[in-house]
Amino acid sequence: MSELHPKHKEFNFAEGELLLVNKPYRWTSFDIVGKIRNAFKPLKLKVGHAGTLDPLATGLLIVCTGKMTKQIDTFQAEEKEYTGTFTLGATTPSYDMETEVDQTFDNAHLSEQYLRDACSQFMGDIQQYPPAHSAIKVNGERLYEKARRGEEVELKARNVTIKEFELTRIELPEVDFRVVCSKGTYIRSLANDFGKAVNSGAYLSRLRRTRSGSFRIEDAWEVMELVSLIREKPLPNPPREGGLQEPHQAGGYRENANPLSYEVLKGNSKANRHSPTPAENLLWEQLRHNSTGYKIRRQHVIDNYITDFVCLQKGLVIEVDGGYHQNTIEADNTRTEMLNHWGFEVVRFSNDEVLQSPQNVFETIKQKIESMPDREKALPTGEGLGGASI
């Protein structure tokens, strides 16, 4: 592994990690993401990839976790390098080996020089038609779904850039190649177009992504090697709210929270449901026996977070927090960002505020609710499940 991606380092997956993975043959890119995401269970972390590889392709897949997923578009836009093999003298509907050969052609006229000279036609900025068997969406449906049903699909040319294109082995009917290209280039289409350029047919019979931007396949993890690493470094059980004491941890979670793990657990675990603190119970009594005019829910699930109290109609989350150190304050800031994303405003009260002046806290909440417009942003999946209400 390079210095940028050492195998022996302290990972903070929720804060954000970029992971290089060697995608195996016949695995989908989603298979890789799913395998890594499942390795974090019971925690639910954001995991995504930066650039799909076809199931029949192998090689470098960039996988991002936590906050690093916000940079996926940046990584995906970088140039790519591939190596692989074209098989000349035949074509397939999918331009690769996913479908059977539909036409064959004579290769007698093909010479090494003729083939190498043809590469120059594809250098620079070119227009390329994607394969009919591609994941591009038209009217909400993938092209390959239409193609598999035998329907005609309208293909639109796209502009791509081929920076380097060379043949590295010629042993007909196979030729090996190396190509450096822009985002959005279909190597299957390049195979098909190359066959036409040499007055023959061609399809892609092997493909491996070797580089994406500055990241190289040499620095990639094998899938199960990475999964084993994640599982061998289990995260501790989710902390409880309100500084509840643990038998072997004097002072409670809030006072002794590990700065590397607390944010992961606090910001991403639905398992963080907890026994109410005295301050929360007192505020709940105020909310139950006095009317705000709107329904208030208690310990209600929003995305990956369990609120103390929430008014869904107004988009107001109400939190009752104890005194605790900087690590947990940063964790709550992360959760606030997530709730803001779903269109919620967060107000926080300390345990002392609630215990000393519960009626004042209630009046503040009521005034806040009355001043807010109804919430317009769509609810996250599962938001309407669970939680006591009044």
Q: What is the DSSP string of 85-125?
A: EEEESEE-TTSBTTS---EE---TT--HHHHHHHGGGGSEE
Estimate to the nearest angstrom the gap between the alpha carbon of 202 and the chain centroid.
34
Rounded to whole angstroms, the Cα distance separating 99 from 153 reads 17
Length of the chain measured in residues: 390
- Residue appearing with tokens 């019979």: 205
The yes-or-no answer on residue 54 being catalytic is: yes
Rounded to whole angstroms, the Cα distance separating 46 from 165 reads 36
With 0-12 / 13-18 / 19 or more C-beta atoms within 10 angstroms meaning exposed / middle / buried, residue 32 is: buried
Which one of 31, 54, 106, 352 is the catalytic residue?
A: 54
With 0-12 / 13-18 / 19 or more C-beta atoms within 10 angstroms meaning exposed / middle / buried, residue 185 is: buried
Alpha helices in 119-218 (DSSP H): 143-148, 187-197
The DSSP code for 259 is: T
Backbone angles phi, psi at 37, to 5 degrees: -60, -40
- Residue appearing with tokens 């052609």: 105
Rounded to whole angstroms, the Cα distance separating 308 from 349 reads 11
Q: What is the DSSP string of 335-387?
A: HHHHHHHTT-EEEEEEHHHHHH-HHHHHHHHHHHHHHSPPP-SPPPTTTTS--
Mention every residue, 6+ apart, whose C-beta is less than 8 A from residue 145: none
Q: What is the DSSP string of 42-66?
A: TS---EEESS---TT-EEEEEEEEG
Rounded to whole angstroms, the Cα distance separating 165 from 323 reads 62
- C-alpha closest to that of 291 among 271, 311, 262, 274: 311
Catalytically active residues are: 54
